[in-house]
Each structure stands twice: as C-alpha cells, then as structure tokens.
Amino acid sequence: MNLKEIMATSYFLSALLLSMNMGMVMVSGDPYCGPIEADDKDLVHVALNLEFLEAEFFLIAALGNGLDSIAPELAEGGPPPIGARKADLDDLTNRLIEEFGYQEVGHLRSIITTIGGFPRPLLDLSPQNFANLFDQAVGFKLDPPFNPYVNTINYLLASYAIPYVGLVGYVGAIPQLLSYTSRRLVAGLLGVESGQDAILRALLYEKADERVLPYDITVAEFTNYISDLRNRLAMCGIKDEGLIVPLKLGAENKTESNILSADVYSLSYARNPQEILRIVYGSGSECKAGGFFPDGGNGRIAKEFLAKA
C-alpha cells in the first residue's frame, strides 16, 4: 500500500468516526447546526471578522506591515494584532501573499462601504497560537513548536487554516441574504476567496508527499489533520477535506486527489455563523472566545453568543 492509499484509508476512518460522533451529538439536540435569525448586515459582519484576520495575516507576512500602515481608517481604532511578523517566503509566494493581502483590503473596504463596519477585533497571529492550533490538529505537541513564519511551506500550511473558513461561511450566508445588494457583495467576495483557497491548495498539493521538516508528517497529512480539526470544532459533520481523500470522498468517486474541497456533487460546503465561530475561536463553542480571537469577534451575532457564556 503506497503513502497516498494509506492516507486515504486513514482519512476515511477518521471521517467515519466523525460522522458517528456527529450523529450521536445531533440526536441530543446539541450543538445547533441550522440557520440563525439574522439580517443581512449581521450575517456579513460575521465574515468581516475573518476579512480582518486574513488581511493582517497576509499583509504582515508579505510586507512586514498591516492595516495600520496600509489603510488605517479601515481598522477604526481597533487593537493591533498580536504576534504577526514578516514571513521568510520565496519570491513567488511572497508576491502571491502580498496580492492576497491587498485583495483583503479591498474586501474590507467593500463591506464597510456597502453595509457598514466595526473596529478591528483583537487578533492573535502569534507563532504560539499557531503552535497550539497545529498541536490540537495532530493530537500531540510538535517539537519544535510549529511556526508559520519560518519558511514558505509552514506559511502555506498556516494559510490553509484560514481562508477556507471564510469561503464556506459565504456559501452558507448567501441563501439567507434578502437584498440584491448583499447577495451581489457576498457573491463577489466568495469568488475571490475561492480563488485564494484554490491557489493555496494547489501550491500545497505540489508538495503533498513531502515531509514537513523536522516533523515526520507530510504536507497532505497536515492538511487532513487541520480539516479534521475544523470538522470536530464545528461539530456539524464533514464539511472540510484535506488534499488526499479516499475514492469514496473524491469527485465522482474516481479520484483521491482533492485540490478543491467539495461535497458528493462537487458543490462547495456551507457553514452557518455558529460553526464559523466555533472554528476560529478554537474552542468548539460560539460562546467561548479564544484562538485567533482572544476577545471574540465583533458584530451583533458574535457579541450575543459571547453574552451567553
């Protein structure tokens, strides 16, 4: 059995266990995975938190400076991010990430101009936070601790952990939006977020079988660990898949490659606001802040969930 077959089998068993666990959880009525009552502004504001996260992560990694240097008015006086730094990237990746960063500035500007915004939330982009995330994903403490900023492959893996969450959030929001203006805005945002995620996944897929030094874990295995963690945190079934999957989860059950994560009909997965918050908080609870948002997200939905803690 080759490495990809071993990985596919391992991923299938993990997915099967996750499905069983989710089934048992849902019978008890907890957690809730359906849509929530919210207007267009509230729904888009959940995504605005993630746009701040992506903008700072991309800009600082590529340029060494974030929103406070590039477009300080968009931060509206919110606190600067914790721990973000210039990443040691190869020239191609640096150019791509710089472009992504400027795209996120455009996303922030478009949301704030169209529906209004809020101050940038406190963001934790420190190596320590990413180390905790990756330890949680693999199930043990990595030695040395994972650091996204030390080289290109680490940064790409760290990037894998972020934009896809916003993508599935936009897919989940569109059916609930009432106005043409909001739907047009989110459709435009989704198109670019999807492109960013596809590029990141394609770059990682090129190195899928390579081991991430100094760990005895391949690139593809790391993506499967991260995707599995996000499914566990969201607690609403399988809506996230790594780069190598069993045929049962591949497109038309004919491929183990999984450059684009999609459902049985090759449609994008969708997540609701509470799932998104459970993931980015790293807590598995929309009511318990942490992870990338030490003080929680901003906007009515995030604030009301936090008030229930």
| pLDDT grade for 184, boundaries at 50, 70 and 90 | very high
255 Cβ neighbours under 8 A, 6+ residues apart: 247
Q: What is the C-alpha to C-alpha distance for residues 197 and 109, in angstroms, rounded to an integer? A: 20
| Neighbour tally for 1: CB within 10 Å | 8
pLDDT at 30: 77
What's phi and psi for 46, nearest 5 deg?
-60, -45
pLDDT of 35 reads: 94
- pTM of the full structure: 0.91
Q: What three-state secondary structure class fits 2?
A: coil
Least confident range of 18-32, 80-94, 209-223: 18-32
Structure tokens at 28: 């008890």
Check: CB of residue 273 under 8 Å from CB of residue 36: yes
| Average pLDDT of the segment spanning 262-277 | 97
Six-digit token string for 77 = 């006086």
Distance between CA 24 and CA 29 in Å, rounded?
9
For residue 134, what are the CA distances in angstroms to 2, 138, 139, 252?
A: 25, 6, 8, 31
Q: What are the tokens at 90? A: 């190869």
- Rounded to a whole number of angstroms, the distance between the first and last alpha carbons of the chain is 48
pLDDT band of residue 14 (cuts 50, 70, 90) is: low
Length of the chain, in residues: 309
Q: In this structure, what token pair is assigned to residue 243?
A: 């780069």
Residue 128 has pLDDT above 90, yes or no: yes
> Buried b / exposed e across 16-46, counting CB within 10 Å, b at 16+?
eebeeebeeeeeeeebebeebebebbbbbbb
| pLDDT at res. 10 | 53
Region 236-262 average pLDDT: 94
Q: What is the pLDDT of residues 23-74, one digit of tens each?
A: 333 333 478 999 999 999 999 999 999 999 999 999 999 999 999 999 999 9
Q: pLDDT value at position 232?
A: 97
pLDDT exceeds cutoff 70 at 8: no
